[in-house]
Amino acid sequence: MLMAPAVSAQSQVTVYGLLDAGITYNNHQSAGDGGRFSVEPGVLQVSRWGVRGSEQVSADTRILFALESTLNNDTGSAGAGFGGNQFSQNGTSTALFDRAAWLGISGRYGTLTAGRQNILGVESVGRADPADLAHAATNPNVLLSGMYAGALYGGFGSNRGGAALRQNNALKYVSPVADGTGFALMVSAGEQVGSLRTSSYAGASVFHSNGRDGVALAYGEFRDQTGTASLHAWAAGVKWRPSDNWAVRMSYAGDIVRGDISIPMPGNPQANANGRRITVTGIGIDYQYSPQLVSTVAAYQSQRSGDLSGKAAQYLLITKYSLSTRTVLYGSLTLAIAGSAAPQDAMLALGLIGIGSGYRSAWRAASGMQHVF
């Protein structure tokens, strides 16, 4: 009993989360100018909850863990789908802690973690996203650069369906930071008998930050369930603050499929994606009017080539007002313009333009509140 206070003082467990509730209207979702009005969770940022903790086991060594789940606060459900033990393009199994589930150790030689984790491009280049990862459900860097769009990327990596943005069975190493510079390595095992490469992921990243400005580079290779097809992805991001009121973020990312693999297209469920290349270029600018009020303008250009030619652009205006350090009111306008109304173009608009609607542009208005706890 006398030792218990000393032991508990060395360990910490925190319950945390983010609740985002908003209303949206998006036009051109179907033929005949069908629009959609909705009350949604995670409009500006993904709603989530989690538990994280650490224990100091020696002077320079800590044990760390994190469990984090997507929270759908409009219905009360939690977690997201993945492929389970069998491949499914959009995922069939639900993971409660879909965003993070890992245990690790940190010390003078870096940090090593094991479990379900983000791929390295998200951890590094995501910090330079032009819209600061806003509107994750339609953000080109989240769905295309981060490969969260299961309909386009479900066939690769240890997740075996759904999003490739997070990988199961992962080991991640992050180096100590020296003069603002560090690197990270990550591997995810497919855990298939007789093959080390099937349904696997391997990646590396390097980053530098002076606390104000920063740059990051990342590369990753994913294998499909047969081990014969691969997805090679790369990303680069820069964040620059020329003054206290202004911030500029730029990113470029891309990926290419090598080998025969079927990735369904509307009207062609057996489409072969061999040679398919998708790239995303983006730039965003923040202006801080006051400590409480900030606006962001951002633009993205997404392109597809190799199998089919397609392109789409997004333009966003987002304004946030802080009621407190934990609560923010926000409003946004988004315009999407595709190269044509064809599926390969409309798909790159990431849900903002209804596929088969016959339109090549659409707009969305959103407003809501976000609270961090």
The string of pLDDT tens digits covering residues 47-63 is 999 999 999 999 999 99
Instruction: Please check whether residue 9 lies inside any domain of the structure.
Output: no
Residue pLDDT, tens place only, 83-116: 665 556 656 677 889 999 999 999 999 999 999 9
Mean pLDDT to the nearest integer, 250-264: 92
Residue 31: which CATH number?
2.40.160.10
- Which pLDDT does position 58 carry in this prediction? 94
Q: What's the rounded mean pLDDT across residues 14-25?
A: 97
pLDDT of amino acid 88: 62
Long-range contact set of residues 263-270: C-beta below 8 Å, sequence gap at least 24: 263/89, 263/151, 263/152, 263/154, 263/155, 264/89, 264/151, 265/308, 265/343, 265/344, 265/347, 266/343, 266/347, 266/355, 266/356, 267/343
Closest CA to 160 of 195, 199, 189: 199
Instruction: Give residue 1's pLDDT.
Output: 37
Residue carrying the six token digits 């492929």:
83
User: CA 340 to CA 353: how far, in whole Å?
Assistant: 11
What letter represents residue 310's amino acid? G
Report whether pLDDT(162) > 80. Answer: no
Residue 333 pLDDT > 90: yes
Matching residue, tokens 């920063």: 214
pLDDT band at residue 18 using 50, 70 and 90 as cut-offs:
very high
pLDDT-wise least confident of 44-53, 72-81, 328-337, 342-351: 72-81
Q: What percent of the chain has pLDDT over 70?
A: 93
What sign does the dihedral 138-144-147-150 (CA atoms) show?
A: positive
pLDDT at 9: 45
Residue 331 scores a pLDDT above 50: yes
H/E stretch holding 140 reads helix 140-140
Highest mean pLDDT among 164-168, 191-195, 355-359: 355-359
Evaluate whether residue 252 is within a structural domain: yes
23 assigned to some structural domain = yes
Neighbour tally for 12: CB within 10 Å = 12
Grade residue 284 by pLDDT with cuts at 50, 70 and 90.
Answer: very high
**Is 10 a domain residue?**
no
What pLDDT score was predicted for residue 226?
A: 84
In a domain, 305, yes or no: yes
pLDDT at 32 over 80: yes
Give me the chain's average pLDDT, please.
91
Domain that holds residue 157: 15-372
**Which residue has better confidence, 189 or 79?**
189
Query: Distance (Å, rounded) from C-alpha 198 to C-alpha 306?
Result: 24
Lowest-pLDDT choice from 16-25, 161-170, 211-220, 223-232 = 161-170
Query: What is the residue type of 314?
Result: Q
Q: Is residue 2 part of a domain?
A: no
For 194-232, write each residue's pLDDT tens digit.
Answer: 888 888 999 999 999 998 999 999 999 999 888 889 999
Whether 7 is covered by a domain: the verdict is: no
Residue 6 within a domain: no
pLDDT number for residue 127: 84
Cβ atoms of 161 and 81 closer than 8 Å? yes
Residue pair 365/27 in contact (Cβ under 8 Å)? The answer is: no
Count of structural domains, the chain: 1
Confidence of residue 146 (pLDDT cuts 50, 70, 90): confident
